[in-house]
Amino acid sequence: MGKTIFITGADTDIGKTFVSLGITLSLKNKGYKVGYFKPFQSGAYEKDGKLIAPDPNEFLKYSPEIKTKYSYLFKGEVSPHLASLIDDIEVDMNKVKKDLDEFSSQFDYTVIEGAGGLYCPAIKGNLFSDIIKTLNQEIIIVTTPHLGRLNHTLMTIECAKLNNIKIKGLIINKMPDNPTLSEANFTKELKLFSDIEILGIIPEIKEITKDSILNAFSGICP
């Protein structure tokens, strides 16, 4: 089995899929065999009679040859736990572990993306922090410099520590060209209150293309 990189966030809708895509494309561009794994995918939609998984589908737009996999696909655009209840699907963590082991054995790196944050309800009786521990993963936390996110980021770091989850580092996403006072000082303040390594700062990309993503992630070495 190759190396794994587990991406989580300080909040929902923070760019976890985009960061997962950026890291995957960057590693692939460096010559590594890379796959993308999503244990639980919510928000599936129908197209041409097929049920589409939205996050893996993003990868197809920029690099169709990248292999992706999910264990469970739900229709509801809600937490995996609630979505599984709505769809009446019983989740088996043994299947998730087996899927990850078999899938990751094909690659040098497998990028794994969670849903929401560490305390997002994942399956019955388990938050995503529990899933991460079950899969024995070290995490990269994605955050943004927007007002209020310092609080969310520091709480996510403390949450990981309380749950004995190792943190590989932080990626600050969506840094504006013309940041506000809060955004301009986000990294400095974060370093005052946390010693977690900042792996990279990703600028807000106006035109998202494969080349612009590769350029933004060129200096990041997870």
* Tens-place pLDDT, residues 70-83: 999 999 899 999 99
Helices (H) and strands (E) in the chain, counts: 9, 11
Of the residues 16, 38, 69, 174, which is catalytic?
38
> Is 221's pLDDT higher than 80?
no
Domain boundaries, the chain: 3-216
Q: Is 95 a catalytic residue?
A: no
1-34 per-position pLDDT tens digit: 689 999 999 998 899 999 999 999 999 999 999 9
Nearest Cα to Cα of residue 62 among 109, 26, 14, 15: 26
Domain 3-216 has CATH 3.40.50.300: yes
Q: Are 222 and 34 in contact (CB under 8 A)?
A: no
Q: What is the pLDDT of residues 182-199, one digit of tens each?
A: 999 999 999 999 999 999
Please state, in angstroms and rounded to a whole number, the distance separating the CA atoms of residues 53 and 69. Answer: 10
Q: What is the 3-state secondary structure (H, E, C) of 137-149?
A: CCEEEEECCCCCH
